[in-house]
Amino acid sequence: MRREHVLTTKELSRSDIEAVLDRAVDIARDPPDRSQYEDTILALLFFEPSTRTKMSFDTAMKRLGGTTVDLGPVGSSSVTKGESLADTVRVIEGYADGIVLRHPSEGAAKMASEFVDVPLINAGDGAGHHPTQTLLDLYTIRENVGFDDLSIGIMGDLKYGRTVHSLSHALTKLDARQHFISPESLRLPRSVRYDLHEAGANVREHTEIEDVLSSLDVLYVTRIQRERFHDENEYRKVAGQYHITPDLLEGADDDLIVMHPLPRVDEIAPDVDETAHAKYFQQAHNGVPVRMALLDLLLGGANK
């Protein structure tokens, strides 16, 4: 895989995805020589707080032997003084060998990539895409249940959940069976349904988890945000319906894995953590080797 930018999972082929995951497996076992990266600087531009994703990239770059620079806390930078994103990234590309961008607006990474020559990685653009989250999700899925004949349930806020959008685009490349479980008001947005339809994806939509649970290899849970609901009662009804407990998981396959991009609120009961189904902390840890692999492939320390 040799790409300038990583903006969405739509543009990644199955072999691109597998190249990153294979590299991550290698890196986890045998990290590359740190001296390759001693002059490499990665800029972390987070226009929206996301401590974990930012720390994960920071850790990944440093574990490879490089260094990072960042904007500092949002609010203290020139951005709040009205500088455009296009100007910011054009300045930063002079400092760094690669840019990681998290921004609250959809399409921000795509636009920013048009202004820079260094590789740019989308670390989340509003309700749009979050491709590196998907890569670590896929890494976790592959190491636990494999990609063959995969049946996955994706549950929660499917409308605004960018991790869901990126994941479902990638799953179409793997010919997975995708079951989407959400309240009617939070179903997948039209643009994502359009893409899945165009890609000929194997997709079903449901409102009840019980309808599909027993057929799943993976249950991917996302947070339903209270502020999406005008009516507190409506929220309570829905939140209760999507609460995963050990009792509920009695109805699932023994090998089912439960994933979550974290942070969770109360959609997964704490006592699920003790079951063999729970893989969300492992999933979070996988962020570092997967991002190391991606940085290694994009910044090409070996080519220096």
Partner 1 sequence: MTDHPTDNDRELRVSKIENGTVIDHVPGGQALKVLAILDIDGSTGETVSIGMNIPSEKLGRKDIVKVESRELSQNEVDVISLIAPDASINIIREFDVIEKSRVDRPATVTDVIACPNRNCITTQSEPVVSKFDVVDDGVRCIYCDTIVRDDLAEHIQTG
The rounded distance, in Å, linking the Cα atoms of 30 and 170 is 27
Residues 231-270 binding partner 1 (CB under 8 A) are none
Rounded least distance, CB 116 to partner 1, Å: 13
Active site residue 102: yes
Instruction: Establish whether 2 is an annotated binding residue.
Output: no
Instruction: Choose among 46, 10, 225: nearest CA to 129.
Output: 10
Rounded least distance, CB 261 to partner 1, Å: 20
Rounded least distance, CB 189 to partner 1, Å: 8
Rounded least distance, CB 150 to partner 1, Å: 25
In angstroms, how far apart are the furthest CA atoms of the chain? 59
Q: Which phi and psi angles does 181 have, rounded to 5°?
A: -120, 115
Q: Does 105 bind partner 1 (CB under 8 A)?
A: yes
Residue 49 burial (CB count, 10 A): 11
Instruction: Establish whether 193 is an annotated binding residue.
Output: no
Active site residue 264: no
Select the span of 49-57, 77-85, 199-207, 257-265 touching partner 1 (CB under 8 A).
Answer: 77-85
Number of Cα atoms under 13 Å in the Cβ half of residue 195: 17
Active site residue 10: no
Q: Does 107 bind partner 1 (CB under 8 A)?
A: yes
Of 2, 29, 51, 81, the active-site residue reads 81
Task: Please state, in angstroms and as integers, the Cα–Cα distance from residue 288 to each residue in 104, 138, 140, 172, 296, following that order.
Answer: 23, 14, 12, 25, 12
Name the DSSP class of 31. P
Active site residue 81: yes
Rounded least distance, CB 82 to partner 1, Å: 8
Q: Which of 2, 29, 190, 230: binder of partner 1 (CB under 8 A)?
A: 190
Q: Does 191 bind partner 1 (CB under 8 A)?
A: yes
Of 5, 23, 63, 102, the active-site residue reads 102
The rounded distance, in Å, linking the Cα atoms of 276 and 257 is 8
Alpha carbon 180 to its chain's center: 17
The rounded distance, in Å, linking the Cα atoms of 241 and 203 is 21
Q: Which of 1, 18, 19, 126: binder of partner 1 (CB under 8 A)?
A: 126
Select the span of 35-43, 130-138, 185-193, 253-261 touching partner 1 (CB under 8 A).
Answer: 185-193
Binding mask 209-228 for partner 1 (x = CB under 8 A): --------------------
Select the span of 20-28, 39-47, 120-128, 295-303 touching partner 1 (CB under 8 A).
Answer: 120-128
Q: Decide whether 7 or 218 has the Cβ nearer to partner 1.
A: 7
Active site residue 52: yes
The rounded distance, in Å, linking the Cα atoms of 173 and 224 is 27
User: Using CB atoms within 10 A of its CB, is residue 261 exposed (0-12), middle (13-18) or buried (19+)?
Assistant: buried
Taking each helix axis from N to C end, the angle separating 51-64 and 131-144, rounded to the nearest 10 degrees, works out to 70
User: Catalytic amino acids?
Assistant: 52-53, 81, 102, 130
Q: Which spans of this chain sit near partner 1 (rule: CB under 8 A)?
A: 82, 84-86, 103-108, 110-111, 114, 125-128, 190-192, 194-195
